[in-house]
Amino acid sequence: MENKSYSDPCYDKYKNVLKGAKHGEVVTRFPPEPSGYLHIGHVKAAMLNYHYAKMYGGKMILRFDDTNPMNEKIEFVENITKDLETLGIKPDQITFTSDHFDHIKGQMDKLISLGFAYADDTNAEEMKAQRDEGIESKYRQNSIEENMRIFQEMVAGKAPSHCIRAKMNMQDKVKCLRDPVFYRCKDQVHHKTGDKYKAYPTYDFACPIVDSLEGVTWALRSIEYRDRAALYDWVLNKLELRKVNLYEFSRLNLVSTVLSKRTLKWFVEGGLVDGWSDPRFPTV
């Protein structure tokens, strides 16, 4: 993207939205998970990231958030890239969260060594009940050495039932801040890294780290992430990483259709539609 001023009158009333933004220094990112095709809800997010970067003569990164090998395919990577071209959106850089898996693993080593994360072997149903009731896991007081040992076993594929959780506040009124899961085991082939990794970071852990690492200055997110803003900042603060500004925008909702990729995938896999390009779908 060219680093120059734009005189488009459509931009005039939006130039003060990103408080403190400076010309030529704005870096945004559009981070779709390659688990389906782009739909009109994604278009809003992509357009906002693209045009705010353009408005300030900055750049936009297209980053594929590929931290869950169970749902992701190269087919979706290729089609998302193609659909953005159709929309006239030309990212300045294309990256993958998986490009940084080794770096993210190193950050988890650091978080554990600082005492801010612990290994947990509680089953999913019980963990959910404990989080709902604000009950601390019996594994929360494990030693740093024990947590580090188990994490290394997870990475080697030798502790598949464990996960790594952030040690936050199990009595927080916002439930997503009650010791969220930051790493989990997935015995699946990844579309880009194959079977190299046995444990993968969650979006909540990987996103702020990669945003900071890639030089993002403004992370534009829909308002559904508002409760997770404190979690995003917590990761950056505990790991002493470069700060990133958060900007929230309203989520696009439509009637007489669905925008959930999970629901759209159910229609496709059930043979109820002609595929992701079915004209009844809200996909690009």
Nearest to 72, CA basis, from 93, 104, 97: 97
The active-site residue, picked from 25, 33, 146, 214, is 33
DSSP 40-103: HHHHHHHHHHHHHHHHTT-EEEEEE----TTT--HHHHHHHHHHHHHTT---SEEEEGGGGHHH
Q: Check: CB of residue 123 under 8 Å from CB of residue 138.
A: no
> Is 33 designated active site?
yes
Element (H, E) at 206: helix 203-213
> Is 4 designated active site?
no
> Is 184 designated active site?
no
Q: How far apart are CA 147 and CA 125, in angstroms?
A: 22
- Inter-CA distances, 66 with 28, 45, 62, 72, 175, Å: 18, 18, 12, 7, 25
Query: How is residue 100 written in tokens?
Result: 């940084």
- Cross-strand pairs, 28: 60
Residue 215 region, left (φ>0) first, then alpha (ψ -120 to 50), else beta?
left
The active-site residue, picked from 110, 192, 251, 265, is 251
Q: How many residues does the chain have?
A: 284
For the annotated catalytic residues, the residue numbers are 33, 251, 261
